[in-house]
């Protein structure tokens, strides 16, 4: 398990290094990034329902953000 | 090397003025806080396909009607509050245990139809919604007749540079399990479990139309982690399933967003790799295309693929009773894969937004990456319909 966590951490670090190649985007150039459809999660309610369903019916879970509580869903 | 652009003082002043026109909270959308004020409602109709033969018991599986309510609003100039509630009504039968069959395993379903409901409330308060990052405090409570979960969490968003945002946080959940008909079916009477979770993420602005986020989540569960309603054929006995009392999980996630000017659309690509100390590993790939159409219509087709390998202690049945001290025939711990496709449509009329959608999810052991050796007769397929209504408060 510890070796696997190190592997995942290495992948995350690799992604960080890739990110160093980004180009500077000025605030006035972020119009498209500010759009609703560019959000990480444009419809949080709908995502919550989808995640809840997948959490109930699949063996794995995990998302970026604080995890919620469980349920007795079966 | 690209030549460095030099702006005249007047042009620089004009650009600064244009930048000031972009609301700070919106400019942070792809990197940090995602807040706007609205009231929302969602209605979901979730229906599982009937259990295919061979089976025993009632083949009609779960049907869940869900309603969600949400209020999101600003509090002062630099804080936001989000409160939501969910009410679910569940009915149908559930996979119980598996018997060895002459040709293939026989899935036994719960004989009596299950009827239950679940209520959940969530609240989160975010302090700091501008370019300096923010801290979100959250709490939730979920109640069913036989299951109660209380969770708290905290997460922090912190810009490290104009193009890089760090996120991190953690949560804790305390769950109480009180199965129904415990004495009749020799189930546990009262159990509990605790879950602790940590996560960290980095979000990059790649260019003016592309953002990327990667993150790691670690989760540890202790306590009663079995499903009190699942049993297993062990030797010649039908016994309550028995899982380990601890589970450690790790998940690595990547999210990519790219805006297209030509078709006025945005592409979403998500990937997750997860594994845990029970031996379950999974890959999840999701894609969605957000197409803006004339007259404020929006169409969102999406695809998802999920593949998991089974837990070490999963089997449809256990013929040698002395060979196992933990065992489960729960289909959710078996090897399977699943494809799902969905189509959502949205229409804005003034401050109102109407939405609706359909998702079809189909799973099979043959869809799993690398195939499967053990049968999983209860893999689930479902159809989900939803309608939604939002009112924007600003």
The alpha-carbon gap from A45 to the nearest alpha carbon of chain B, in Å, equals 7
From CA A8, how far away is CA A4, in angstroms rounded? 6
Give the chain A residue whose CA is nearest to the CA of B256.
A40
The alpha-carbon gap from A11 to the nearest alpha carbon of chain B, in Å, equals 8
Candidates A66, A48, A63; CA nearest to B124 is A66
Yes or no: say if B277 and B247 are a contact pair by the CB < 8 Å rule: yes
**Inter-chain touch B208–A54, beta carbons under 8 Å:** no
**Inter-chain touch A5–B259, beta carbons under 8 Å:** no
Give the chain B residue whose CA is nearest to the CA of A67.
B171
Domain regions of chain B by residue span: 125-392
In b/e form, how buried is each residue of A1-14, taking b as 16+ CB within 10 angstroms? eeebeeebeeebee
Of residues A1, A24, A62, nearest to B277 (C-beta): A1
Candidates B382, B303, B387; CA nearest to B345 is B387
* A&B contacts, CB < 8 Å: 257
Candidates B254, B219, B153, B213; CA nearest to A66 is B153
Yes or no: say if B148 and B175 are a contact pair by the CB < 8 Å rule: yes
Per CB-CB distance under 8 Å, the chain B contacts of A47 are: none
CATH architecture assignment, domain B125-392: Beta Barrel (2.40)
Per CB-CB distance under 8 Å, the chain A contacts of B47 are: none
pLDDT tens digits, chain B, 394 residues: what are they?
333 444 455 544 444 444 444 433 333 444 344 458 999 999 999 999 999 989 998 999 999 999 999 999 999 888 999 999 999 999 999 999 999 988 899 999 986 666 789 999 999 999 987 777 899 999 999 999 999 999 999 999 999 988 899 999 999 999 999 988 878 878 888 999 999 999 999 999 999 999 999 999 999 999 999 999 999 999 989 999 999 999 999 999 999 999 998 899 999 999 999 999 999 999 999 999 999 999 999 999 999 999 999 999 999 999 987 777 899 999 999 999 999 999 999 999 999 999 999 999 999 999 999 887 789 999 999 999 999 999 998 6
**Inter-chain touch A38–B338, beta carbons under 8 Å:** no
**Inter-chain touch B68–A48, beta carbons under 8 Å:** yes
**Inter-chain touch A39–B272, beta carbons under 8 Å:** no
B4, B84, B199, B308: best to mutate for the A interface, most A CBs within 10 A: B199
Give the chain B residue whose CA is nearest to the CA of A68.
B151
**Inter-chain touch A24–B272, beta carbons under 8 Å:** no
Q: Name the CA radius of gyration of chain B, rounded.
A: 24
**Inter-chain touch A40–B34, beta carbons under 8 Å:** yes
**Inter-chain touch B276–A60, beta carbons under 8 Å:** yes
Of residues A8, A37, A69, nearest to B140 (C-beta): A69
CA B356 to chain centre: 19
ipTM above 0.95, yes or no: no
For residue B160 the two structure tokens come to: 């490290």
Of residues A29, A38, A74, nearest to B30 (C-beta): A38
From CA B343, how far away is CA B207, in angstroms rounded? 29
From CA A55, how far away is CA B300, in angstroms rounded? 23
Give the chain A residue whose CA is nearest to the CA of B381.
A57
């Amino acid at each position: 398990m510890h070796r696997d966590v190190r592997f995942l951490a290495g992948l995350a670090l690799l992604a960080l290094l890739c990110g160093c190649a980004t180009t500077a985007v000025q605030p006035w150039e972020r119009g498209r990034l500010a759009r609703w459809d560019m959000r990480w999660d444009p419809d949080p309610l709908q995502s919550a329902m989808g995640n809840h369903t997948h959490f109930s019916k699949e063996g794995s879970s995990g998302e970026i953000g604080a995890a919620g509580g469980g349920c007795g869903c079966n | 090397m690209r030549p460095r652009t030099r702006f005249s003082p007047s042009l620089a002043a004009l650009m600064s003025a244009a930048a000031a026109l972009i609301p700070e909270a919106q400019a942070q959308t792809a990197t940090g806080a995602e807040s706007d004020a609205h009231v929302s409602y969602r209605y979901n109709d979730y229906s599982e396909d009937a259990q295919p033969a061979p089976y025993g018991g009632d083949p009609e599986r779960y049907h869940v009607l869900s309603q969600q309510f949400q209020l999101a609003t600003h509090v002062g100039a630099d804080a936001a509050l989000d409160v939501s509630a969910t009410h679910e009504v569940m009915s149908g039968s559930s996979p119980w245990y598996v018997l060895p069959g002459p040709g293939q395993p026989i899935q036994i379903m719960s004989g009596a139809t299950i009827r239950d409901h679940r209520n959940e409330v969530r609240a989160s308060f975010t302090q700091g919604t501008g370019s300096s990052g923010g801290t979100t405090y959250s709490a939730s409570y979920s109640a069913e007749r036989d299951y109660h979960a209380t969770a708290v969490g905290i997460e922090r968003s912190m810009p490290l540079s104009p193009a890089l945002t760090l996120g991190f946080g953690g949560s804790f959940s305390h769950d109480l399990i009180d199965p129904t008909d415990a004495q009749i079916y020799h189930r546990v009477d009262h159990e509990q479990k605790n879950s602790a979770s940590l996560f960290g993420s980095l979000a990059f602005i790649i260019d003016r139309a592309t953002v990327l986020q990667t993150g790691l989540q670690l989760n540890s569960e202790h306590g009663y982690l079995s499903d009190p309603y699942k049993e297993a054929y062990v030797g010649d006995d039908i016994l309550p399933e028995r899982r380990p009392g601890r589970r450690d999980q790790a998940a690595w996630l990547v999210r990519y967003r790219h805006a297209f000017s030509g078709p006025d659309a945005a592409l979403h690509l998500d990937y997750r790799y997860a594994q845990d100390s029970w031996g379950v590993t999974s890959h999840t790939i999701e894609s969605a295309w957000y197409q803006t159409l004339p007259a404020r219509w929006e169409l969102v087709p999406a695809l998802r693929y999920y593949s998991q390998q089974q837990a070490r202690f999963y089997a449809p049945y256990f013929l040698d009773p002395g060979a196992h001290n933990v065992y489960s025939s729960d289909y959710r711990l078996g090897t399977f894969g699943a494809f799902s496709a969905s189509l959502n449509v949205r229409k804005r009329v003034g401050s109102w937004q109407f939405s609706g959608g359909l998702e079809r999810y189909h799973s099979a052991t043959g869809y799993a990456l690398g195939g499967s050796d053990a049968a999983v007769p209860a893999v689930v397929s479902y159809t989900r319909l939803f309608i939604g209504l939002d009112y924007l408060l600003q």
